[in-house]
Structure 1
Amino acid sequence: MNQHSLSAAFVAGLVVTTLCSIPDGALAAAKSASKSALAVACESQYQRTRPAPKVVDKVLQAHARWLEDRESADGRRANLCRTDLRQLRLTTASLERANLEGAILKGANLRSANLVQAHLKGADLSQAILDDANLEGADLRKGLLAKAHLNRISADEAAFYGANLQGAFFREALLERAHFEDADLQLADLSGASLLDGYFYGANLSKANLTDADLAGTDLRRTNLRQATLRRANLQGALLDSATLDGTSLVEADLESAYLDDASLVQADLHEASLRGA
């Protein structure tokens, strides 16, 4: 073996020895920390500040130009991650694809705003007004929306994974194919909402109002629907396997071809409900 080969072998052995000397836990932690750092990165110049309304208006104007022409010299995507925007009036604002991750929008007025595919992961929208807003494809994972007003919103395919939606209002909302896995919807009002083919696996819907809601084909497996109101709800073909429906009102509900394997229906009210093929 020549000198070059010996040197290469020595270096390779040194690298392996060094890596092996690092505890597995430390390596895993380093990888996890690296991923976390990437996940929570926020480069907004306004993070952890409360910019004046005029400043926010300028950001939105530049965002509007960016939406019209991505090559515009004076256009820029709105980056308001982790920014304090509480109580701000943003009615009819154009925030499509805006970065609002971790933003504080508590009590903000976003009525009729355009939030299509907006990034709102981890944002605080508690008590915010979003009636008639467009949230199609928006990312609201782990968001705080307790007592938020989302009546008549369009939010098809929006992501509410693990979000806190306690006491939120979704009356007559369009939420087809939306994701609510592991979300907390206790006492939420979803009366008249369209939830076709939605995903609620493991969600908490106890005492929620789903009167006249359309849940056909919806995945409600392992959901908590204790004392919820599903009066006249359409549950045709819905997946309710292992769901808890104790004390739930299913009066006049349509459960045709619904799946109820291992579901608990203790003291549930099924008066005049349709169970054909269930």
Structure 2
Amino acid sequence: MFQYSNQKYTGVNFGTQDLRYGELISCTFHRCSFSNGSLEEITSSNCRFIECDFRGASLNGSIHKESAFENCSFNGASLFVAKFEECKMTGSDFSGSNMDGITIYQGDWSYTNLRHARLVRQDLRAIKFFEADLSGANLEKADLRNADLTMALLAKAKLQGTDVRGAKMESVDFKTFSIMGMRMDREQTVLFSLSHGAKVD
């Protein structure tokens, strides 16, 4: 067990180091690599990771509170039962990552690549997914109430039983996915009708 506090790192390769069970507090990492690294059960709070590489890394059971992961790559990473509380994840790429059992509490996931992500039954209330790519994602029975899905891509996403009441869905292309079994509010049904060419008075 180690603890890093108020440290700044640029271009450092941490991928070969064993970072399991470590604690990171108010640290900044710029263009650092954690590729294929062991970060199981690591905790971070108030940290910033900018353009960092987490490809193939194991972050199983890790906990992150109010940390920022901006434009980071998580391709093929394992985030099994990882927890992100009020984190800023803008522009990060999660393609091919294992997100089973993940916990996401609020935060900003705008511009993220979550294509084909498995987020079944997840509590995603009030999370900002502005212009996020959720194409092909499995969101069955997920709770997206009051989330911001403005301009999000939902092509071929699985939304059976998904609750989107109160979510912002302006500029979402409703023609690219099935709303069968999706729980919507009145405002969203109007947006759905408009996207299919209806005139609503």
**Given the two structures, how large is their TM-score scaled by the length of structure 2?**
0.79
Question: How far apart in 1 are the matches of 2:169 and 2:69?
Answer: 29
Change in 2 beyond 3 A, CA 1:257/1:205: same
What residue in structure 1 maps to residue 119 of structure 2? Answer: 205
Superposition deviation, residue 249 in structure 1 = 1.7
Tell me by how many angstroms 1:203 deviates.
2.6
In the alignment, what sits opposite 2:149?
Answer: 235
Match of 2:40 among 106, 116, 133: 106
Relative to structure 1, the CA distance from residue 231 to residue 114 in structure 2 (aligned partners, 3 Å threshold; closer, same or farther) is closer
Contact kept in structure 2, 1:255 and 1:273, CA below 8 Å:
no
Matched, 1:259 2:173: yes
Question: CA shift at 1:216, angstroms?
Answer: 4.4
1:180 aligns with 2:94: no
Structure 1 residues 261 and 157: alpha-carbon distance in aligned structure 2, compared to 1, 3 A threshold: same
Match of 2:198 in 1: none
Contact 1:211 1:233 in 2 (8 A): yes
Asked if 1:87 corresponds to 2:47, the answer is no
Residue 95 of structure 2 corresponds to: 161
1:124 aligns with 2:58: yes
Q: Distance in 2 between matches of 1:136 and 1:111?
A: 15
Give the drift of 1:161.
1.4
* TM-score, with length taken from structure 1: 0.59
Identity over aligned pairs, percent = 22
Taking structure 1 as reference, are residues 229 and 128 closer, same or farther at Cα in structure 2, changes over 3 Å only? same
SS of the equivalent of 1:110 reads: strand
Q: Pairwise CA RMSD of aligned residues?
A: 2.7
User: Which has the larger share of strand?
Assistant: 2
What is the alpha-carbon distance in structure 2 between the residues aligned to residue 218 and residue 178 of structure 1?
A: 5
Structure with the bigger percentage of helix: 1
Q: What whole-Å deviation, never above 9, does each CA across 1:85-126 have from its counterpart, x for those lacking one? A: 110122223332222111101011222223212221111111
For residues 208 and 262 of structure 1, the distance between their equivalents in structure 2, rounded to whole angstroms, comes to 22
- Structure 2, gaps ≥5 residues long: 196-201
1:222 is the counterpart of 2:136 = yes
CA 1:82/1:256 → structure 2, altered by over 3 Å: closer, same or farther? same
Q: CA deviation at 1:256?
A: 4.4
Structure 1 regions of 5+ residues with no counterpart? 1-51, 68-76, 182-201
Which is further off, 155-164 or 86-95?
86-95
Query: How many Å separate the matches in 1 of 2:19 and 2:102?
Result: 20
Q: Deviation digits for residues 219-274 of structure 1, max 9, x if unmatched?
A: 33332221111223343444333332212223334444432226333332224442
Query: 1:117-160 CA distances to partner (integer Å, 9 max, x unpaired)?
Result: 22211111111122122211222211111222221222221221
Q: Distance in 2 between matches of 1:223 and 1:245?
A: 9
- What's 1:43 paired with? none
Higher RCO (CA 8 Å, separation ≥ 6 residues)? 2
Paired AA for residue 113 in structure 1:
C
